[in-house]
Structures are given as C-alpha cells and as structure tokens.
Amino acid sequence: MDYLSEKMTLSDSNAKAIQLHLLRTITEGFAEKLKVGSGGYGEVYKGLLNGDEIAVKKLFPVPGLNDEAFDNEFRNLKKVQHKNVIRMIGYCYEISHRDVEYQGQLVWAQVIDRALCFEYMKGGSLVNHISDESCVHDWPTTYKIIHGACEGLHYLHKGQEQKIFHLDLKPDNVLLDEDFVPKIGDFGLSKLFGSSYTHQLSSKKGTIGFMPPEYINNCHVSPKNDVFSLGVIIFHMMAGKKGCQEYWDARQRPNFSAKIQQEFIGSVQEYWKTKMLATEGYRWDETDLLGVTTCIDMAMRCVENERDKRPYMKDIISELNKLDSEVVEMLKKDPKPLICQLKRKNRVNDLEVVKQHKSLNDLGKDISVDPSVELRFPFEPKKDISCCLQLTNKAASSYIAFTINIDVNKYCAQPSKGILAPCSKCYITITLRPQEEAPLNMQCVDVLVMQGIRVSEHFTSDEITQDIHANAGAVDEVILPIAYIALDNQPLSQ
C-alpha cells in the first residue's frame, strides 16, 4: 500500500474515499455539460452521489508534489468545520499506469488522479451575484453575505490546530447556498500549487486586483493578504468594480484627502438608499445607513497599501458584532417591518407560499428554527410519533414571545407558547396523534406556523393571547411544511 492510501485509510470518517470510476460515472466522464467552474487548481463538475448533489474538483497535475505534502493539506481540509466554509465530503487519490505518447512512441507512464469532493452550492459563486454597480441583492442579503464571508475567513485565520491563510480569495471562491449563506472555498490549496497560480490574480499597473502590493512585489505572505482580498470583495459588493477602481484611482493621486474619502462614502450611502427605496415593502432607515457606512469604511481600511494599517480579522468581527448590537438597540426603539411579511388571516394556502418563497425562513429574523426546511415524522399507524423543534433567539438583548400554531386535532405542541431570553434556546416537542393508517403515498399538506414578537423583559407567557401577534407592528413568522416518512418495513398506502 502506498504512503497516501495507507494514511487516508487510517483517517477519520468525516470525508469518505471515493473511487475514480465512481466520480467518472456521476459526472458522465467529467462531461463539459456538467462543468460548473474552472480555476487555477482544477475543474469543478456537478455530480449526484447517493441522491445528493456534490461538487467534484478534479485537481490539475502538480509536478513535484509529493504524497506527504498532499496528505498534510488534505488533513487540514478535513478538520475545517464552519457554517461559512465549504464542507469537504470526499476525496479521491488513485495511481494508475497508462500508455501515453512520448517523443513519438507509446510508453507506460504512472498517472496520479487527485480529486476533492465538496457540498454543492446551488447559489453558485459570488461573482455571479455582483453587477457593475454592486451586489444584485437587497441590503439585508448583501450584509448577510459580507458578514458570513468575514466569519468564514476569521475561522480559517484563527485555526483549530493550524492557522490557514487562503492566499487566493476572490468572488469566484466565495460560494452561496440557495439561501445566500456564503461559504469560502479553495482554501489551503495555494500551498500545494505554489504562487504561480495566485500571481494570475495580480493587478495590472494602475488597476486594483485581489492581491496586496507586498505580495505582488515581494511574495510576502501574512494574514493581511487575505484581509486585502476581502476588502476588494466587499468593495465590489458595495460599489461594483467600477466604483472600486474609481476609489483606487483617487487614492493614488497626490490630492487625495479625507474629504474625498468622505464624499465617496456619501455616494455609496446614496446609491444604497436609492436602491432600497425602490424596493416594494422595504423601509430604509438609520440601521441600514449605519450598516452601509460601517461596511464601506471597513473595506477602505482593508485595502490600505501598508499592511500594518489593515485590521486583523478578529478586529473586523468585533466591529461587525458591535454593529449588530447597535442595530438591535435601534430596532427596539423603532422596529422595522419584515420584507414580504405574511399578514394573511386565512392560511389555507400556506404550503404553496412556502414553495414559492424558498428563503422565507431566513430573512434576518430574531428567531432561527431547526429544522428549517420541513418537520418530518417517521410514520407508524396507531402510534404517537414525536419530533423535536429547536427555537433560538439570535437577538443580543431582546426577549421574544413565541406561539406554535398547528392543527390541534392531529398534533400536540409542548410547549405551544413561551418566552425566549436573549441568545437562548428552547425545545418544542411536536407529537402526531395516533392515525389509523398512512395517507395515500405518504402525502401530507399540513404545516406548522411559528410566530414571534419582541416583548419587554417582564412579559410573561400568560400574557401571550391569540390576538397579540395580530396587533403587533413586526412579527417573525416561520412556516414549516410537515412530511411523513415511511419506515423501511412499512409499505406505502395505494
């Protein structure tokens, strides 16, 4: 057994070994039609493995790369676990001998195939979500992407056992899921592939690229490299490539001043205000203005020429956390209505609404719900069946009164209402009452509705009445479809 195969066999079970022939099968021989990306490190293909979509990055051959170096970086990738970092789910490393043409003759040559498999991100790369003017989404979603990308990079920099510098951070390597949650990819590969690939990102004279001057000129590596790249990404999201270049050009001029800098901040503020005022049902206010100002100012400091003037990621996260706390306090005095907030009295068509608004349950609300997609019951006739729902109050200083609305003739929720303290969790047991038989083909059209509103610290569960949410100015609302799952030994009703 060769070195790497032996080491991987002994590794933990988080990422599975996947044979090359299986990867060829699920990508139809690495077909061009299934290619979803290409970069300096390899080409990415979409595949279907055990019913789940995955991304297969087939790495380019690397002359001189030894097994031990690849194994070390492979192990670094496997240990990374964060909501804003791409999760690796499998790998492939195979050595074969093939006849290849060499100097006009066919010879047997040793060929090494390497591939890494990751969770598939339906939202694609961030580059597809940025126009010439800015991020194409509204401000809450744009801020969500900025904050998540910062969290992911901070996680890599602080490290669990070893700090990881990305050294190739750009919009192509920030991927989004279907709910626009950002995840950083292609980290850790720059060590293996060397600086020649990263230098392809170097800016032309007079233009701003994603790599800082000290790296372009002297190949100096530090965590501030990634901070510079992050700043350029935020710039592109806030002011577009054109705005980023205009600011860069202005900063190179001898007459650049704090006044010019402030005028640029003002133009970014005005752009986002105009954009959001044109969004139906959205109220632009001081919380948005504060967020835009904080983010563009932060981006300016990230792209300073002198790396010592740039902040560290821990400073950026501290600044964003402070912003979030200030926004919470501002909204306590003047709550903002939710975008697309549902105010319908009649909930007959709730399930159809969920299908049409796939990201309805992730609009930056105070309460997050787990599971967030649907509530599943492993159905058995004539038995009580229970599952658990976790509610989390994400607000740093607000108390939340919640109620669980569900068909009481079929289900029981315990508790059905309550108070969530700031940054706390509670668990709701949902019980399906005994049913005589399974519905046809396990089809279920029931839904669970969770509603929450901010209340004072001294508010009690007894004060939660049926009309409290109807009279509230701003209501968090989550709608979960209910699904029945057949057990292995139970046939479906026909």
ω into 335 cis (within 30 of 0): no
Residue 402: strand pairing partners: 418, 452
Q: CB-based contacts of 87: which residues, under 8 Å, 6+ apart?
A: 80, 81, 118, 119, 183
Q: How far is CA 25 from CA 34, 44, 50, 56, 88, in A?
A: 12, 15, 12, 12, 20
Q: Which of 168, 186, 226, 476 is catalytic?
A: 168
Residue 96: strand pairing partners: 111
Lookup result for tokens 């530090």: 222
How do the residues of the chain divide into helix, strand and coil, expressed in percent and rounded to 5? Answer: 35, 25, 40
Residue 112's CB is within 10 A of a number of other CB atoms, namely 16
Active site residue 226: no
* CA 468 from centroid of its chain's CA atoms: 34
Q: Rounded to an integer, what distance in angstroms lies between the CA atom of residue 429 and that of residue 375?
A: 11
The conformational region for residue 125 under phi > 0 = left, psi -120 to 50 = alpha, else beta, is: beta
Q: Rounded to an integer, what distance in angstroms lies between the CA atom of residue 454 and that of residue 456?
A: 7
Residue 102: strand pairing partners: 105
Residue 451: strand pairing partners: 403, 477
Are 113 and 96 in contact by the 8 Å Cβ rule? The answer is yes
Q: Is 333 annotated as a binding residue?
A: no
Q: How far is CA 200 from CA 40, 204, 220, 311, 455, in A?
A: 8, 10, 16, 25, 54
Positions marked catalytic: 168
Provide the annotated binding site for ATP: 58
Q: Binding site: residue ranges?
A: 58
